[in-house]
Amino acid sequence: MKVALLSLLSEQEKEFIPPWVLRERLHLTWEEISETVLRLRLDGYTIEGGHEKGYCLSRRPDLLLPTEVLPLLRTETLGRNYVYLPTVGSTNDLAKQLARTGAVNGTLIAAEAQTGGRGRLGRAWASPRSSGIWMSLILRPELPPTELPKLTLTAAVGVARAIGIVADLPTGIKWPNDILADGKKVCGILTEAAVSDGKTDFAVVGIGINVNTEQADFTAELREKATSLKEVLGRPVSRSLLLAATVGELESLLNQLYADNFAAIRAEWCRRTVSLGQVVQVAAPTGGFTGRAVAIAPDGALIVSREDGSEIRVAAGEVL
């Protein structure tokens, strides 16, 4: 009912739609309409009017409510089950919990704020209220655990594409999955998986995008390395449009990945990366070293060439 009423009110935003039009178009009683208006107002919509003039939508909230996001989705699977929370510890933690209790493939979890947002390598992820996209997708991919790094690279390409489409901003990907704008990080991706008997039960792809985050929201240490789309562009970006575009791009890329066409995704990743050809400092689980990033292996590992001519394959770790 909420979506139908909103879509009718949106046809003529800021104009009153008379009661009889609302009743006829929605096939609802006036009581049902007024009750829905009340619930929308509680969600944060500004709707003026009453039983004499009808209703007029004068302001939509800048929130990732289902009523804002679902009408924008053009996907078949991803996001069709949408779990939205004003506050959560970590969307990845909730996603893993839901996945363990049977949540369907493609379930999307998004929150306005995270109180315990997690980054890679055990770091915290700043997730201030309503300033970014803090989301996790539950996937049940037909991929063996060894091929899961492909998911993260695929997600990075999807986010980079979506930022290009919605914000018209070129970005670079830093191996394995940081998205940079103006040389600073605007997005991080944390993929986690549950594996049993050598098979992937599920994967959770957690994506954090600093959309309209202000510098003051970052810690002093982060300020040097992190930025937001708003800061780079000098104007805010619609979070709901970016969320819907990200999920849309991801669905088409995942279909490509499952159709055994990772090569094309890898090629796009290579076109978008800022890591290849650079001298990089690698922090790998086995220790740190310096070398030149020369290639991405078919499974997504970074190939680093050292001064002595040897090549090291880095499957997990970070480029500093």
CB of 124 to ligand BTN, least distance (A): 9
Q: Does 240 interact with ligand BTN (rule: CB under 6 A)?
A: no
Q: Does 175 interact with ligand BTN (rule: CB under 6 A)?
A: no
Burial class of residue 295, CB neighbours in 10 A (0-12, 13-18, 19+): middle
Closest CA to 290 of 249, 252, 260, 319: 319
Sign for the pseudo-dihedral over CA of 265, 270, 271, 273: positive
137 touches 250 (CB < 8 A): yes
Q: Does 125 interact with ligand BTN (rule: CB under 6 A)?
A: yes
**Peptide bond just before 176 cis, omega within 30 deg:** yes
Residues 185-214 that bind ligand BTN (CB under 6 A): 188-190, 206-208
Of 59, 74, 100, 123, which one interacts with ligand BTN (CB under 6 A)?
123
175 touches 273 (CB < 8 A): yes
> Nearer to ligand BTN by C-beta: 190 or 293?
190
> Nearer to ligand BTN by C-beta: 44 or 119?
119
> Nearer to ligand BTN by C-beta: 92 or 240?
92
Closest CA to 227 of 153, 152, 136, 132: 132
Closest CA to 6 of 83, 59, 81: 59
> Nearer to ligand BTN by C-beta: 74 or 123?
123
Residue environment code for 75-101, b if the CB has 16+ CB neighbours within 10 A, otherwise e: beebbeebbbbeebebbbbbbbebbee
The whole-angstrom separation of Cα 152 and Cα 90 is 18
User: Of 28-36, 39-47, 123-131, 153-161, which segment contacts ligand BTN by CB under 6 A?
Assistant: 123-131
Q: Does 120 interact with ligand BTN (rule: CB under 6 A)?
A: yes
User: Of 66-74, 85-93, 224-232, 247-255, which segment contacts ligand BTN by CB under 6 A?
Assistant: 85-93
Of 60, 63, 79, 92, which one interacts with ligand BTN (CB under 6 A)?
92
293 touches 311 (CB < 8 A): no
CB of 221 to ligand BTN, least distance (A): 14
C-beta atoms surrounding 110 within 10 Å = 26
Q: Does 230 interact with ligand BTN (rule: CB under 6 A)?
A: no
Q: Does 239 interact with ligand BTN (rule: CB under 6 A)?
A: no
CB of 81 to ligand BTN, least distance (A): 17
Helix, strand, coil % in the chain, rounded to nearest 5: 35, 30, 35
Of 36, 67, 136, 171, which one interacts with ligand BTN (CB under 6 A)?
136
Q: Does 118 interact with ligand BTN (rule: CB under 6 A)?
A: yes
Q: Does 117 interact with ligand BTN (rule: CB under 6 A)?
A: yes
Q: Does 174 interact with ligand BTN (rule: CB under 6 A)?
A: no
> Nearer to ligand BTN by C-beta: 36 or 90?
90
Interface residues toward ligand BTN, by CB under 6 A: 90-92, 114, 117-120, 123, 125, 127, 134-136, 178, 188-190, 206-208
